[in-house]
Chains A and B, each alone.
Chain A
Protein backbone atom coordinates (compact mmCIF):
# COMPACT_ATOMS: atom_id res chain seq x y z
CA UNK A 1 0.00 0.00 0.00
CA UNK A 2 1.36 3.38 -0.95
CA UNK A 3 1.91 5.66 1.98
CA UNK A 4 0.84 8.69 -0.02
CA UNK A 5 -2.68 7.41 -0.44
CA UNK A 6 -5.58 9.17 1.24
CA UNK A 7 -8.76 7.50 2.41
CA UNK A 8 -12.15 8.85 3.36
CA UNK A 9 -14.93 7.21 5.30
CA UNK A 10 -17.77 5.71 3.35
CA UNK A 11 -21.19 7.30 3.74
CA UNK A 12 -22.70 3.81 3.63
CA UNK A 13 -21.42 2.99 7.10
CA UNK A 14 -23.05 4.12 10.32
CA UNK A 15 -20.53 4.43 13.14
CA UNK A 16 -21.04 4.82 16.86
CA UNK A 17 -18.45 4.99 19.59
CA UNK A 18 -19.04 2.74 22.60
CA UNK A 19 -16.48 3.27 25.34
CA UNK A 20 -13.13 2.59 23.69
CA UNK A 21 -14.54 0.80 20.70
CA UNK A 22 -16.37 1.80 17.54
CA UNK A 23 -19.36 -0.10 16.17
CA UNK A 24 -19.80 -0.02 12.40
CA UNK A 25 -23.11 -0.90 10.77
CA UNK A 26 -22.90 -1.23 7.00
CA UNK A 27 -25.83 0.10 4.97
CA UNK A 28 -26.27 -2.37 2.15
CA UNK A 29 -29.13 -2.12 -0.32
CA UNK A 30 -30.48 0.62 1.93
CA UNK A 31 -30.69 -1.68 4.96
CA UNK A 32 -28.75 -1.26 8.17
CA UNK A 33 -28.49 -4.77 9.55
CA UNK A 34 -27.73 -5.05 13.25
CA UNK A 35 -27.10 -8.74 12.77
CA UNK A 36 -24.08 -7.97 10.66
CA UNK A 37 -21.92 -5.38 12.30
CA UNK A 38 -18.24 -4.74 12.82
CA UNK A 39 -16.37 -3.70 15.91
CA UNK A 40 -13.10 -1.81 16.02
CA UNK A 41 -10.97 -2.20 19.10
CA UNK A 42 -9.38 0.76 20.85
CA UNK A 43 -6.53 1.12 18.39
CA UNK A 44 -8.85 0.59 15.46
CA UNK A 45 -11.18 3.22 16.89
CA UNK A 46 -8.28 5.68 17.08
CA UNK A 47 -7.44 5.04 13.44
CA UNK A 48 -11.10 5.53 12.58
CA UNK A 49 -10.78 8.96 14.21
CA UNK A 50 -7.58 9.73 12.32
CA UNK A 51 -9.42 9.10 9.06
CA UNK A 52 -11.36 12.29 9.76
CA UNK A 53 -8.16 14.30 9.30
CA UNK A 54 -8.02 13.32 5.62
CA UNK A 55 -4.28 12.82 5.89
CA UNK A 56 -2.14 10.32 4.04
CA UNK A 57 -1.44 6.80 5.19
CA UNK A 58 2.04 8.01 6.15
CA UNK A 59 0.50 10.65 8.43
CA UNK A 60 -1.55 8.01 10.17
CA UNK A 61 1.44 5.68 10.52
CA UNK A 62 3.40 8.45 12.20
CA UNK A 63 0.55 9.26 14.55
CA UNK A 64 -0.01 5.62 15.53
CA UNK A 65 3.72 4.98 16.03
CA UNK A 66 4.01 8.02 18.25
CA UNK A 67 0.84 7.54 20.27
CA UNK A 68 1.31 3.83 20.92
CA UNK A 69 5.11 3.91 21.09
CA UNK A 70 5.69 1.25 18.48
CA UNK A 71 8.34 1.13 15.80
CA UNK A 72 7.50 2.73 12.48
CA UNK A 73 7.72 -0.49 10.40
CA UNK A 74 5.37 -2.35 12.75
CA UNK A 75 2.93 0.54 12.83
CA UNK A 76 3.03 0.70 9.04
CA UNK A 77 2.44 -3.04 8.64
CA UNK A 78 -0.43 -3.12 11.13
CA UNK A 79 -2.03 0.02 9.79
CA UNK A 80 -1.88 -0.91 6.11
CA UNK A 81 -3.33 -4.33 6.93
CA UNK A 82 -6.10 -2.71 8.94
CA UNK A 83 -6.90 -0.14 6.23
CA UNK A 84 -7.08 -2.95 3.68
CA UNK A 85 -9.65 -4.68 5.88
CA UNK A 86 -11.68 -1.50 6.21
CA UNK A 87 -11.52 -1.08 2.45
CA UNK A 88 -12.65 -4.67 1.90
CA UNK A 89 -15.83 -4.10 3.91
CA UNK A 90 -16.34 -0.78 2.10
CA UNK A 91 -15.99 1.26 5.27
CA UNK A 92 -13.43 3.49 3.57
CA UNK A 93 -12.47 4.34 0.02
CA UNK A 94 -9.58 6.05 -1.68
CA UNK A 95 -9.92 9.78 -2.14
Chain B
Protein backbone atom coordinates (compact mmCIF):
# COMPACT_ATOMS: atom_id res chain seq x y z
CA UNK B 1 0.00 0.00 0.00
CA UNK B 2 1.30 3.39 -0.92
CA UNK B 3 1.87 5.76 1.95
CA UNK B 4 0.55 9.20 2.37
CA UNK B 5 -1.44 9.32 -0.65
CA UNK B 6 -3.88 11.80 0.23
CA UNK B 7 -6.31 13.50 -1.66
CA UNK B 8 -9.50 15.04 -1.40
CA UNK B 9 -12.69 13.95 -2.60
CA UNK B 10 -15.54 13.54 -0.47
CA UNK B 11 -15.79 16.39 1.83
CA UNK B 12 -17.54 15.31 4.95
CA UNK B 13 -20.35 17.69 5.39
CA UNK B 14 -21.53 18.15 8.88
CA UNK B 15 -22.66 20.72 11.34
CA UNK B 16 -24.42 23.02 8.92
CA UNK B 17 -24.19 26.51 10.27
CA UNK B 18 -27.08 27.66 8.18
CA UNK B 19 -29.86 25.26 7.53
CA UNK B 20 -32.37 25.45 4.77
CA UNK B 21 -35.60 26.59 6.26
CA UNK B 22 -38.85 25.18 5.06
CA UNK B 23 -41.59 27.49 3.97
CA UNK B 24 -44.49 27.10 6.40
CA UNK B 25 -46.86 28.63 3.91
CA UNK B 26 -46.23 25.99 1.33
CA UNK B 27 -46.11 22.32 2.21
CA UNK B 28 -45.12 21.58 -1.34
CA UNK B 29 -41.94 23.62 -1.11
CA UNK B 30 -38.85 21.51 -1.57
CA UNK B 31 -36.10 22.73 0.76
CA UNK B 32 -33.50 21.28 -1.58
CA UNK B 33 -34.58 23.77 -4.22
CA UNK B 34 -34.58 26.74 -1.88
CA UNK B 35 -31.65 28.89 -2.99
CA UNK B 36 -30.13 29.53 0.42
CA UNK B 37 -26.39 30.03 0.74
CA UNK B 38 -24.98 27.43 3.10
CA UNK B 39 -21.63 27.22 4.82
CA UNK B 40 -20.63 23.87 6.28
CA UNK B 41 -17.53 22.79 8.12
CA UNK B 42 -15.79 19.46 7.82
CA UNK B 43 -12.57 17.83 6.74
CA UNK B 44 -11.08 16.56 3.58
CA UNK B 45 -11.55 12.87 2.99
CA UNK B 46 -9.00 10.52 1.60
CA UNK B 47 -8.92 9.64 -2.04
CA UNK B 48 -6.06 8.98 -4.34
CA UNK B 49 -5.54 10.92 -7.52
CA UNK B 50 -7.47 13.97 -6.42
CA UNK B 51 -6.86 17.08 -8.41
CA UNK B 52 -8.38 19.09 -5.58
CA UNK B 53 -5.77 17.85 -3.13
CA UNK B 54 -3.08 18.67 -5.65
CA UNK B 55 -4.41 22.18 -6.06
CA UNK B 56 -4.86 22.83 -2.35
CA UNK B 57 -1.43 21.43 -1.47
CA UNK B 58 0.19 23.53 -4.19
CA UNK B 59 -1.72 26.66 -3.15
CA UNK B 60 -0.99 26.34 0.56
CA UNK B 61 2.64 25.27 0.34
CA UNK B 62 3.23 27.60 -2.60
CA UNK B 63 2.34 30.63 -0.52
CA UNK B 64 4.81 29.57 2.16
CA UNK B 65 2.34 28.07 4.62
CA UNK B 66 2.47 24.65 6.24
CA UNK B 67 0.06 21.92 5.17
CA UNK B 68 -1.65 19.63 7.69
CA UNK B 69 -3.57 16.56 6.65
CA UNK B 70 -4.29 12.94 7.46
CA UNK B 71 -1.90 10.42 5.93
CA UNK B 72 -3.08 7.27 4.29
CA UNK B 73 -1.14 4.05 3.83
CA UNK B 74 1.53 2.01 5.62
CA UNK B 75 4.61 2.44 3.50
CA UNK B 76 6.23 4.58 6.21
CA UNK B 77 5.04 2.45 9.12
CA UNK B 78 5.70 2.37 11.98
CA UNK B 79 7.11 5.89 11.80
CA UNK B 80 4.01 7.24 10.08
CA UNK B 81 1.00 4.99 10.36
CA UNK B 82 -2.20 4.90 8.43
CA UNK B 83 -4.42 7.64 9.81
CA UNK B 84 -1.69 9.72 11.43
CA UNK B 85 -1.84 13.43 10.83
CA UNK B 86 1.27 15.04 9.39
CA UNK B 87 2.48 18.59 9.00
CA UNK B 88 4.43 19.49 5.89
CA UNK B 89 6.79 22.44 5.71
CA UNK B 90 7.31 24.10 2.32
CA UNK B 91 10.84 23.25 1.26
CA UNK B 92 12.78 23.06 -1.97
CA UNK B 93 14.48 19.88 -3.13
CA UNK B 94 17.90 21.52 -2.86
CA UNK B 95 17.28 22.22 0.84
CA UNK B 96 16.44 18.62 1.72
CA UNK B 97 18.78 16.57 3.88
CA UNK B 98 19.34 12.84 3.72
CA UNK B 99 16.85 11.22 6.09
CA UNK B 100 14.18 13.90 5.64
CA UNK B 101 10.70 12.74 4.73
CA UNK B 102 10.04 14.33 1.37
CA UNK B 103 6.50 15.20 0.37
CA UNK B 104 6.22 15.10 -3.38
CA UNK B 105 3.86 14.48 -6.23
CA UNK B 106 4.34 11.54 -8.55
CA UNK B 107 3.93 11.77 -12.27
CA UNK B 108 0.58 10.00 -11.99
CA UNK B 109 -0.71 12.62 -9.58
CA UNK B 110 -0.36 10.70 -6.33
CA UNK B 111 1.14 12.49 -3.37
CA UNK B 112 3.73 10.61 -1.39
CA UNK B 113 5.80 11.25 1.72
CA UNK B 114 8.84 8.99 1.69
CA UNK B 115 12.29 9.18 3.20
CA UNK B 116 15.12 10.77 1.25
CA UNK B 117 17.96 8.30 0.96
CA UNK B 118 20.08 9.91 -1.73
CA UNK B 119 20.74 13.06 -3.74
CA UNK B 120 22.70 13.31 -6.93
CA UNK B 121 23.55 16.00 -9.41
CA UNK B 122 23.73 19.70 -8.75
CA UNK B 123 21.14 22.46 -8.63
CA UNK B 124 20.50 22.27 -12.34
CA UNK B 125 20.13 18.52 -12.53
CA UNK B 126 19.26 17.46 -9.01
CA UNK B 127 17.70 14.02 -8.60
CA UNK B 128 16.35 12.67 -5.32
CA UNK B 129 16.10 9.03 -4.37
CA UNK B 130 13.38 8.14 -1.89
CA UNK B 131 11.92 5.05 -0.32
CA UNK B 132 9.18 4.21 2.15
CA UNK B 133 10.59 2.90 5.43
CA UNK B 134 8.36 -0.13 5.16
CA UNK B 135 9.15 -0.87 1.53
CA UNK B 136 11.97 -2.88 0.02
CA UNK B 137 12.10 -1.09 -3.30
CA UNK B 138 13.16 2.42 -4.18
CA UNK B 139 10.73 4.95 -5.60
CA UNK B 140 11.13 6.27 -9.10
CA UNK B 141 13.57 9.19 -9.27
CA UNK B 142 12.17 12.42 -7.87
CA UNK B 143 12.92 15.70 -9.59
CA UNK B 144 12.90 19.14 -7.94
CA UNK B 145 9.69 20.27 -9.62
CA UNK B 146 7.84 17.36 -7.98
CA UNK B 147 8.90 18.31 -4.47
CA UNK B 148 6.44 20.25 -2.34
CA UNK B 149 7.99 20.09 1.12
CA UNK B 150 9.10 17.87 3.97
CA UNK B 151 7.30 16.34 6.92
CA UNK B 152 8.17 18.12 10.17
CA UNK B 153 5.56 16.82 12.58
CA UNK B 154 3.65 13.59 13.04
CA UNK B 155 0.54 13.37 15.20
CA UNK B 156 -0.47 9.93 16.34
CA UNK B 157 -2.74 8.58 19.03
CA UNK B 158 -3.00 11.75 21.05
CA UNK B 159 0.65 12.70 20.85
CA UNK B 160 3.00 14.29 18.40
CA UNK B 161 6.60 14.08 17.34
CA UNK B 162 8.55 17.03 15.98
CA UNK B 163 11.07 15.97 13.36
CA UNK B 164 11.86 19.33 11.85
CA UNK B 165 14.85 20.37 13.99
CA UNK B 166 18.49 19.29 14.16
CA UNK B 167 17.78 16.47 16.56
CA UNK B 168 15.00 15.34 14.29
CA UNK B 169 17.34 15.35 11.29
CA UNK B 170 19.90 13.26 13.15
CA UNK B 171 17.33 10.75 14.24
CA UNK B 172 15.88 10.69 10.74
CA UNK B 173 19.30 9.60 9.51
CA UNK B 174 19.56 6.95 12.19
CA UNK B 175 16.24 5.58 11.11
CA UNK B 176 17.34 5.68 7.51
CA UNK B 177 20.53 3.72 8.08
CA UNK B 178 18.92 1.28 10.45
CA UNK B 179 16.47 0.34 7.75
CA UNK B 180 18.91 -0.09 4.89
CA UNK B 181 18.90 -3.55 3.40
CA UNK B 182 15.51 -4.47 4.71
CA UNK B 183 16.67 -7.57 6.59
CA UNK B 184 14.65 -8.92 9.48
CA UNK B 185 17.22 -7.69 12.00
CA UNK B 186 17.29 -4.24 10.47
CA UNK B 187 13.53 -4.15 10.47
CA UNK B 188 13.50 -4.93 14.19
CA UNK B 189 16.14 -2.26 14.79
CA UNK B 190 14.16 0.33 12.85
CA UNK B 191 10.98 -0.43 14.75
CA UNK B 192 12.86 -0.29 18.04
CA UNK B 193 14.39 3.07 17.17
CA UNK B 194 11.01 4.39 16.16
CA UNK B 195 9.50 3.39 19.50
CA UNK B 196 12.46 4.83 21.37
CA UNK B 197 12.18 8.08 19.47
CA UNK B 198 8.52 8.37 20.30
CA UNK B 199 9.26 7.66 23.97
CA UNK B 200 12.05 10.23 24.16
CA UNK B 201 10.92 12.88 21.74
CA UNK B 202 7.17 12.44 21.64
CA UNK B 203 4.85 14.89 23.33
CA UNK B 204 1.67 13.48 24.67
CA UNK B 205 -1.43 15.34 25.58
Contact = CB atoms under 8 A, between A and B. Distances in A.
| B is bound to A | yes
Please tell me the size bucket of the interface on B.
20 to 34
B35 A39 contact: no
Interface of A: 14, 16, 18, 21, 23, 25, 27, 30-41, 43-44, 46-47, 64, 68, 70, 78-79, 81-82, 85-86, 89
Given A14-B56, A37-B42, A31 B66 contact: yes
3 nearest A-B pairs in the assembled complex, by CB-CB distance: A32-B60, A68-B35, A44-B37
Given A16-B52, A16-B59, A27 B65 contact: yes
Contact of A47 (B37, B52, B65, B67): B37
Contacts, number: 103
Given A16-B52, A32-B67, A34-B68, A39 B36 contact: no
Given A16-B59, A25-B56, A34 B69 contact: yes
A79 B69 CA distance: 32
21 contacts: A14-B59, A14-B63, A16-B55, A27-B63, A30-B65, A31-B66, A31-B67, A33-B68, A34-B6, A34-B43, A34-B44, A34-B53, A34-B68, A34-B69, A37-B41, A37-B44, A39-B39, A39-B41, A40-B38, A81-B18, A82-B18
Q: Which DSSP category, helix, strand, loop or mixed, fits chain A's interface?
A: mixed
Interface of B: 6, 8, 11, 13, 17-18, 35-44, 52-53, 55-56, 59-60, 63-70, 85, 87
Contacts of B69: 33-35
A16 B37 CA distance: 17
Contacts of B55: 16
Contacts of B59: 14, 16, 25, 32
B37 A34 contact: no
